[in-house]
Each structure stands twice: as structure tokens, then as C-alpha cells.
Amino acid sequence: MTTLAPVSNTATASDRGSGATLAVLLGAYMLIALDATVVSVALPALQRQMHFSATALSWVPNAYALTFGGLLLLGSRVGDVLGRRRAFSAGVALFTIASLLGGLAPNAGLLLAARAVQGVGAALSTPNVLALIAVNFDEGPARNRALSFYSAGAGLGGSLGMLLGGALTSWLSWRWALLINVPVGVVVALAAPRVIREPERQPGRFDVAGAITGTLGSTVLVYGVLRASDRGWTDALALATLTAAALLLISFLAVELKARQPLLPLEFLRDRGRIGAYLNMFLIPAGMFPTFFLLTLYFQEVLGYSALRTGLGFLPMTLVLFTTVRLMPRVLARVNLRAVLVTGAALVVLGGVWLTRLSEHGGYPAQLLGPLVLIGLGGGMSFMPMSALVLRGVTPARSGAAAGLLQTLQWTGGTVGTAVLVSLFSNTSRHGTGSAAHRLVQGIDAAFVLGTAVAAAAVLVATLVIRDRKA
């Protein structure tokens, strides 16, 4: 049983582990996950109204991804030192203010700046969601139930983002894809001090050298991947940026080996099960997250779906994923953890293989319903057990760092995977043959082949690295 540090705050002991606590934490996490996709469906309308060039338009999602992915590790350490609830609330408030400014932005420059600030707020709040779950819910059934909802957050938020973005863009304006965050963010920020239990702050100083090298390394890596996706993997600046990122991340590890209070405690990497969970928390999102972008193109450009109907097309995956993660605590009480993780990753592979067979003449029931159900089922069987495995046995003093690394790998994996697969899609469709729809499908099929290979690597990790059988 994890020993909880004494606290002093407005939340009483009866609030601990309550539904209100979980609702506030998941409300914030859903906002972050939703914002990763809600703007995507609105991009064509946004480009027309704001007069974005094609290159500038790509930075509407990229500005958010860059600051979010680059600052996650730092955000977790801020929570450790200054207080996780305080960091969480500040991140939600910053995200909400940036959403308001973005929704009201009169020009492209201010919109991109607001998206970057949204990423900063997300990086400050997101790792502290998982850390606060670790503190507010005892290890065991209570925490597993909370993690089951948390693990559905990314997939559920992403799918609802597509649906909500399509509806708001079709019925109102692209601006509401950002403004919808404001009322939810205000409620979460005001409720957090009342219902979330704050652990005692961890005394000490910031690991300045680790923060600089880790933050720069993560940010430069994300920028390099985004640049390569946009300009090609032979682009000189992209290659130079990726090389610099590798050197910075190596420097970060060297610094952490010597730091007295490291940003990333390297003892996390001495546990074989935790290493496997971290690896798969990068690989599975890298294979799964590009599905949203690729199938959005297929829905709208090949099948002729509207933005709203596109969002509805992802609904089966969302429902299956949510149902599966809710059942995971009961499953883990009866089935060994490694078997669950191997099966989950294998189902994602099967769904990916099915999607490599898309054609321009196919329909939704025959070509899309089955693989979306398989991917939702596989994702639901993967994310909650991996989160539980990472947090098991972690003391409150280390929960922020453990959660920060988990979130960094999850969202960086999704960003890198999307960038690489979209680059492959673009190159393949550009050099394809036949009609425009046929070339587009050729590119999508090629991207899913690579995405399936990434998911297959997760099967190997779950099989060969994770030996832990405890639930």
C-alpha cells in the first residue's frame, strides 16, 4: 500500500477518491485530449476565413503539439516542487485563457500564439492528472477503477473532438472549436481546490540542467519530426534538428545520472515491467493516433462524408474503447497482466492489417466498422494496464515524475507516429497512379502498413520484456 504524505488543504478525507475528484481530473484530461483533434476537422473552414497559407495552416495543430510535447517532463517536476494541485489548476487556467484568446483571435499570428500557449497549459496540467490520481486513490481496486476512466480519456477525447469539431464547424463557426473549452475549463479550475487532495510538496530545488536539456531535447525532437513530415526526411534543417535532439537527450540522461534531485529518476528504468510499459506507451499511440487523421481523409475525400458524419464514423471505436477500459479492473483480477497487454496489442495489429485493405469503392460496414472495433478493443486493453504497471509501487514523492514520463512518451509517440505516417502517406499518394481517390487510398494503405508494423513491435515488447504476471 502506498503511504500518503500528510496534507493540509480544503478537501476532507471523505473527499478522497470520490466521484467529484475523478470528475474534475478527467474533465481537464478530456479537454486536453479533445483539443488534439477538435481543431483538425475545422482546418478547411479556418483556412478560408483566416487566409492561412498551406504551410501556416499546418502550424495550427503543430504549435500546440510542439509546446505540449516539449514541456511535459518539466510540467511534472513543477507539480512535484510547487504542488501538484496548484500546478494542475494553473495549467487548466492557462489553457482556458488561451482557448478564449484563440477563439477570438483576429488574425493568424495571434491564433498560432494562442495555440502554443494552450500547449504550455496542457503540459502543466496533464502529467499532474495522473499524479493526483495516484495520490487521491489507493493502489489496488480504487486506483484501477480511476485509471480505467483515465485510460479512456485520450481515445474518448480524440473521438469526441472529431464529432464536436464537425458539429460546431457545420452549425456555428470554427471559433467554437476553441471557445467550447472555456466554460468547462472555468468549472474545473474553480472546483479543483475544493475536491482534489493535495499531497505535501517535495522539498528541494529544480534540476535546472536537466530541465534545460530535457525540455530542449523534447521540443527540438518534436519540431524536427514535424519539419521532416512537412519538408521531407532529406531536408537539411530537419536532419540537423533531429541530430541536435539526439545530442540533447543524451546530455539529459548524462545529467540525470549525476543529479541529486533529478527531473527523471532513473531508478524507474530498473524495473523490467515498467520499462516495457513505457516502451509500449510510445509504440501503441504511434500506431493508433494517426488513424484519426488518415481515416478523416478517407471519410471526407473518398466516401464524401460531412465533418459531422466523419465524427460519427469514429463513434464505434470510442464506445468499444470506453466499455473495455471500464471492464479492465475486473479482468485484471482474474487474468495475468502480460496476457492482457499482449492480446491488446495484437488486436491493434489485426485492426491495422484490415485497414491496409481499404479501397475507393468500399463502404463503411465492410471496410471500417470491423477494424475500428478491433482498435478500440485493443487500445482499451492496453492503456489502463500500462498506466497501472507504471504507477505500481511508486511513492507519492515520485508519482509526478513517473506520470510525466508516461505522458511524455504517450503524446510524443502519437505526434511522432502521426508525422511519420502522414509523411509516408503524402509521398505515396503523390507518386501513385490512377484517379485522385485511388492515389489517396494508396497513400493511406501504405501508411497503415507502417502503423501496423509499429503496433507489431508493441506485441513483441509485451511478450518479451514484460514478465510481470501480477494484476
Phi/psi of residue 396, nearest 5 degrees: -55, -35
411, three cell numbers: 503524446
- pTM for the full predicted model: 0.75
Is position 174 within any domain? yes
* Cβ-based neighbours of 116, under 8 Å, separated by 6 or more: 63, 64, 66, 67
User: Cβ(362)–Cβ(400) under 8 Å?
Assistant: no
**149 lies in the same domain as 250:** no
Is position 6 within any domain? no
**62 lies in the same domain as 164:** yes
Is position 402 within any domain? yes
Is position 317 within any domain? yes
User: Cβ(287)–Cβ(348) under 8 Å?
Assistant: yes
Residue that is last in its domain, among 223, 241, 262: 262
253, three cell numbers: 540522461
Q: Provide the H-helix boundaries in 356-395.
A: 364, 370-391
**246 lies in the same domain as 274:** no
Q: What is the pLDDT of residue 72?
A: 76
Residues written for the chain: 471
Question: How many structural domains are present in the chain?
Answer: 2
**143 lies in the same domain as 276:** yes
3-state DSSP assignment of residue 167: helix
Is position 469 within any domain? no
**119 lies in the same domain as 250:** no
Per run of 10 residues, the mean pLDDT along the chain (length 471 residues) is 36 51 81 74 72 65 76 74 82 92 86 89 83 74 74 67 73 82 87 74 64 78 76 83 89 79 69 82 86 82 79 83 80 81 91 88 84 90 81 67 76 80 81 80 89 91 73 44
Q: Rounded CA gap, 243 and 239, in Å?
A: 6
Neighbours of 172 (CB within 10 A): 12
**257 lies in the same domain as 320:** no
The DSSP call for residue 368 is: I
Is position 2 within any domain? no
Q: Rounded CA gap, 448 and 180, in Å?
A: 32
- Structural domain boundaries enclosing 302: 13-206+263-464
223, three cell numbers: 519540431
**29 lies in the same domain as 159:** yes
The DSSP call for residue 51 is: T
**187 lies in the same domain as 254:** no
Residue that is last in its domain, among 262, 284, 305: 262
**380 lies in the same domain as 404:** yes
Residue appearing with cell numbers 464529432: 163
Q: What is the pLDDT of residue 200?
A: 60
Provide the CATH number for the domain around residue 64.
Answer: 1.20.1250.20
**75 lies in the same domain as 120:** yes
Is position 3 within any domain? no
Is position 5 within any domain? no
Q: Rounded CA gap, 405 and 109, in Å?
A: 31
**335 lies in the same domain as 424:** yes
**54 lies in the same domain as 201:** yes
